[in-house]
Chains A and B, each alone.
Chain A
Amino acid sequence: MINYLYPDYEIVRDPSKCIACRVCERQCANEAHSFDEEAGCMVADSSRCVNCHRCVSLCPTRALKIVKSDHTFKQNANWTGDRITEIYKQASTGGVLLSSMGNPNAFPIYFDKILINASQVTNPSIDPLREPMETKTFLGKKTGEIRRDEKGRILPYTEPQIELSVPIMFSAMSYGSISYNAHESLARAAQELGILYNTGEGGLHEDFRQYGANTIVQVASGRFGVYKDYLEAGAAIEIKMGQGAKPGIGGHLPGTKIVGDISKTRMIPEGSDAISPAPHHDIYSIEDLRQLVFSLKEASEYKKPVIVKIAAVHNVAAIASGVARSGADIIAIDGFRGGTGAAPTRIRDNVGIPIELALASVDSRLREEGIRDNVSIVVGGSIRSSADVVKAIALGADAVYIATAALLSLGCHLCRSCQSGKCNWGIATQRPELVKRLNPDIGSQRLVNLVTAWKHEIMEMMGGMGINSIEALKGNRLMLRGIGLNEKELEILGIKHAGE
Chain B
Amino acid sequence: MLKEGQIRIPSGCAISGIISREGKPINGRDIVESIRVMHDRSNGLGGGFAGYGIYPQYKEHYAFHIFYDTQEAREECERFIDRHFDVINLSKIPTKKIPAITDEPLIWRYFVSPHPTKLADSQLDESEFVARCVFRVNTEIEGAYIFSSGKNMGVFKAVGFPEDVGEFYRLDEYEGYSWTAHGRYPTNTPGWWGGAHPFALLNYSIVHNGEISSYDANRRYMEMFGYRCSLQTDTEVITYIIDYLSRKKGLSLEETANVIAAPFWSTIEKKPEEEKLRLTYLRNKFASLLITGPFSIIVGFEKGLMMLNDRLKLRSAVIGEKDDRVYMASEESAIRAIEPELDKIWAPKGGNPVIVTVNE
The yes or no verdict on A and B being binding partners is yes
Chain A residues within 8 Å of B, Cβ to Cβ:
119, 122-124, 126, 131-132, 134, 136, 138, 142, 146, 153-154, 156-158, 161, 367, 370, 372-373, 465-469, 471-479
Q: For the complex, what is the distance from the CA of A161 to the CA of B284, rounded to whole Å?
A: 10
Chain B residues within 8 Å of A, Cβ to Cβ:
8, 10-12, 187, 210-218, 220-221, 223-225, 249-251, 255, 262, 264-266, 277-278, 280-282, 284-288, 290-294, 311-312, 314
5 contacts between A and B (CB under 8 A): A122-B12, A132-B266, A138-B284, A469-B262, A474-B217
CB of A123 within 8 A of CB of B290, answer no
Q: For the complex, what is the distance from the CA of A493 to the CA of B191, rounded to whole Å?
A: 30
Residues of A within 8 A of B278 (CB): 153-154, 156
Given A122-B187, A154-B281, A367-B220, residue A472 in contact with residue B265 (CB < 8 A): no
Q: For the complex, what is the distance from the CA of A126 to the CA of B294, rounded to whole Å?
A: 10
The residue on A at minimum CB distance from B282 is A154
CB of A471 within 8 A of CB of B210, answer no
The residue on A at minimum CB distance from B283 is A471
Given A119-B213, A156-B278, residue A469 in contact with residue B290 (CB < 8 A): yes
Distance in Å: Cβ of B316 to nearest Cβ of chain A: 13
Given A136-B265, A474-B288, residue A131 in contact with residue B217 (CB < 8 A): no
Distance in Å: Cβ of B312 to nearest Cβ of chain A: 6
CB of A471 within 8 A of CB of B290, answer yes
CB of A370 within 8 A of CB of B224, answer yes
Q: For the complex, what is the distance from the CA of A186 to the CA of B138, rounded to whole Å?
A: 54
The residue on B at minimum CB distance from A140 is B284
The residue on A at minimum CB distance from B285 is A142
CB of B287 within 8 A of CB of A142, answer yes
Residue among B251, B285, B288 with the most chain A CB within 10 A?
A: B285
Distance in Å: Cβ of B179 to nearest Cβ of chain A: 27
Residues of B within 8 A of A122 (CB): 10-12, 187, 211
Q: For the complex, what is the distance from the CA of A161 to the CA of B277, rounded to whole Å?
A: 14
Given A138-B287, A142-B287, A472-B213, residue A123 in contact with residue B10 (CB < 8 A): yes
Residues of A within 8 A of B213 (CB): 119, 123, 465-467, 472, 476, 479
Residues of B within 8 A of A472 (CB): 213-214, 217-218, 290-293
Given A122-B211, A477-B216, residue A146 in contact with residue B251 (CB < 8 A): yes
Selected contact of B280 from candidates A124, A156, A474, A478, CB within 8 Å? A156
Q: For the complex, what is the distance from the CA of A378 to the CA of B276, rounded to whole Å?
A: 27
CB of B210 within 8 A of CB of A123, answer yes
Given A119-B213, A367-B220, A475-B216, residue A468 in contact with residue B282 (CB < 8 A): no
CB of A476 within 8 A of CB of B210, answer no
CB of B216 within 8 A of CB of A479, answer yes
Q: For the complex, what is the distance from the CA of A473 to the CA of B285, rounded to whole Å?
A: 16
CB of A367 within 8 A of CB of B224, answer yes
Selected contact of B294 from candidates A124, A154, A367, CB within 8 Å? A124
The residue on A at minimum CB distance from B10 is A122
The residue on A at minimum CB distance from B245 is A146
Distance in Å: Cβ of A228 to nearest Cβ of chain B: 29
Q: For the complex, what is the distance from the CA of A51 to the CA of B223, rounded to whole Å?
A: 52
Residues of B within 8 A of A158 (CB): 281, 284-285
Since A466-B211, A473-B217 are in contact, a sample of 16 more A-B pairs with Cβ atoms closer than 8 Å, ordered by chain A residue number, is A122-B187, A123-B10, A123-B294, A132-B266, A134-B265, A138-B284, A142-B287, A156-B277, A367-B221, A472-B213, A472-B218, A474-B288, A475-B288, A476-B216, A478-B8, A479-B216
CB of A124 within 8 A of CB of B314, answer yes
The residue on B at minimum CB distance from A152 is B252
The residue on A at minimum CB distance from B250 is A146
Residues of A within 8 A of B291 (CB): 472
Residues of A within 8 A of B214 (CB): 467, 472-473, 476
Distance in Å: Cβ of A491 to nearest Cβ of chain B: 15
Q: For the complex, what is the distance from the CA of A126 to the CA of B224, rounded to whole Å?
A: 30
Q: For the complex, what is the distance from the CA of A142 to the CA of B287, rounded to whole Å?
A: 9
CB of A471 within 8 A of CB of B288, answer yes
Nearest 7 interchain pairs by C-beta: A156-B281, A472-B214, A478-B216, A466-B213, A471-B287, A476-B217, A472-B292
Q: For the complex, what is the distance from the CA of A373 to the CA of B285, rounded to whole Å?
A: 9
CB of B8 within 8 A of CB of A467, answer no
Q: For the complex, what is the distance from the CA of A472 to the CA of B213, rounded to whole Å?
A: 8
Q: For the complex, what is the distance from the CA of A142 to the CA of B216, rounded to whole Å?
A: 19
Residues of B within 8 A of A138 (CB): 284, 287
Selected contact of B249 from candidates A146, A367, A373, CB within 8 Å? A146
Selected contact of B220 from candidates A154, A156, A475, CB within 8 Å? A475
Residues of B within 8 A of A146 (CB): 249-251, 285
The residue on B at minimum CB distance from A161 is B284
Q: For the complex, what is the distance from the CA of A372 to the CA of B187, rounded to whole Å?
A: 34
The residue on B at minimum CB distance from A138 is B284
Q: For the complex, what is the distance from the CA of A124 to the CA of B290, rounded to whole Å?
A: 18
Residues of B within 8 A of A131 (CB): 312
Selected contact of B217 from candidates A123, A136, A153, A471, CB within 8 Å? A471
CB of B292 within 8 A of CB of A467, answer yes
Residues of B within 8 A of A465 (CB): 213
Residues of A within 8 A of B249 (CB): 146
Distance in Å: Cβ of A143 to nearest Cβ of chain B: 9
Q: For the complex, what is the distance from the CA of A372 to the CA of B278, rounded to whole Å?
A: 23
CB of A154 within 8 A of CB of B216, answer no
Distance in Å: Cβ of B231 to nearest Cβ of chain A: 14
Residues of B within 8 A of A370 (CB): 224-225
The residue on B at minimum CB distance from A372 is B224
Residues of A within 8 A of B218 (CB): 472
Distance in Å: Cβ of A206 to nearest Cβ of chain B: 34
Residues of A within 8 A of B285 (CB): 142, 146, 158
Residues of B within 8 A of A154 (CB): 255, 278, 281-282
Residues of B within 8 A of A471 (CB): 217, 287-288, 290
Distance in Å: Cβ of A317 to nearest Cβ of chain B: 15
Q: For the complex, what is the distance from the CA of A157 to the CA of B250, rounded to whole Å?
A: 16
Residues of A within 8 A of B255 (CB): 154
Distance in Å: Cβ of A414 to nearest Cβ of chain B: 35
The residue on B at minimum CB distance from A368 is B224
Q: For the complex, what is the distance from the CA of A17 to the CA of B233, rounded to whole Å?
A: 67
The residue on A at minimum CB distance from B255 is A154
Residue among B220, B249, B266, B278 with the most chain A CB within 10 A?
A: B220
The residue on A at minimum CB distance from B215 is A478
CB of A142 within 8 A of CB of B211, answer no
Q: For the complex, what is the distance from the CA of A372 to the CA of B287, rounded to whole Å?
A: 12
CB of B221 within 8 A of CB of A475, answer yes
The residue on B at minimum CB distance from A156 is B281
Residues of B within 8 A of A123 (CB): 10, 210-213, 293-294, 314
Q: For the complex, what is the distance from the CA of A479 to the CA of B219, rounded to whole Å?
A: 13
Residues of A within 8 A of B293 (CB): 119, 123, 466-467, 472
Distance in Å: Cβ of B274 to nearest Cβ of chain A: 8
